[in-house]
Amino acid sequence: MATTPKRRRWSAVDVPDLNGKVAVVTGANSGIGFEAAKVLAEHGATVVLACRNPVKAQNALDTIRTATPAADVSLLEMDLNSLASVRKAADTLLADRPVIDLLINNAGVTFLPYGLTADGFETHYGVNYLGHFAFTGLVLPAVTAADAGRIVTIGSNAHRLGKMNFDDPGFTKGGYKPLRAYARSKLANLLFAFELQRRLQTAGASTQSLAAHPGGANTEILESIGPVRQKLKQLIDHIPNPIVHSARQGALPTLRAATDPASRGDEYYGPAGLLKMTGPPVLVKASATSRHPETAQRLWELSEEQTGVTYPL
């Protein structure tokens, strides 16, 4: 009796030829964003690294060019903490790139003490979500100008812990905890990604909006450990761990959502393994709350009010 051959796990080698494609990755100077940008450049894409810190961004660009000398990589300075910076970056990008094939909304902050953005929004909500909402809306004409543009917004397993409170989205009335704020921002990201797909589809646009999460990627989790951080990161990256894997592995769900010809709008990718923390990238389920159209509609209307950005759909 013949046996069905086991299907090979999707990996970076499955990324297709991207020559002629323009990709913009926010927060591409380190972690998931850097690894995704590096693979995109390796496969021929013209990659724009949209980053807050010019020095770190230049280091990332140099590293990519060292690994892939022919890489077409450039920098775009953008601080998601400031809507003025987001608008300036969008204007600069549109002047240089009238067509964008791929936008990866990756940048973010994690588990910070209570703070506010330059515009007065709680930092996790303002940086992880609201800045990306504004940036995506401002550059959307360039993405919809592509034959089959894609927008990938990064979520997290933590979104399942998130709760939207439209009476107090920024915890101004108390109850602030870093995990609670982070989870809310990641829930907002998924509500946005799925609502954007609904709106694109209604408008008859070929552009698709997807989401992905990296699982237990070994990135910012060790940022506060000081001088031993790099050694610990190297140790984790080379020892099998059921809930933590390398940043390069953590970038695979993003890359699959962004480049797999079989991927479709409204899909959500993440690791296949234990607790969806590690393993090859597969389709995963998002929480019921993140799929709730009325909640997404309410968040969208609030976001337009807060940012002053209205989507041209």
Cα separation of 195 and 124, whole Å? 20
* Residues 140/170, Cβ–Cβ less than 8 Å: no
Distance CA 135, CA 255 (A): 20
Q: Is 150 helix (H, G, I), strand (E, B) or coil?
A: strand
Q: Minimal CA–CA distance to 113: which of 213, 190, 182?
A: 182
Three-state secondary-structure class, residue 308:
coil
Residue of 200, 106, 141, 147 lying closest to 21 (CA atoms): 147
Q: Angle 282-12-150 (CA atoms, 0-180°, nearest 5)?
A: 65
Active site residue 176: no
Exactly one of 125, 129, 182, 269 is catalytic; which is it? 182
CA dist 31 and 303 (Å) reads 27
Q: Cα 105 from chain centroid?
A: 4
Measured CA to CA, the distance from residue 28 to residue 196 in angstroms comes to 23
Tell me the catalytic residues: 182
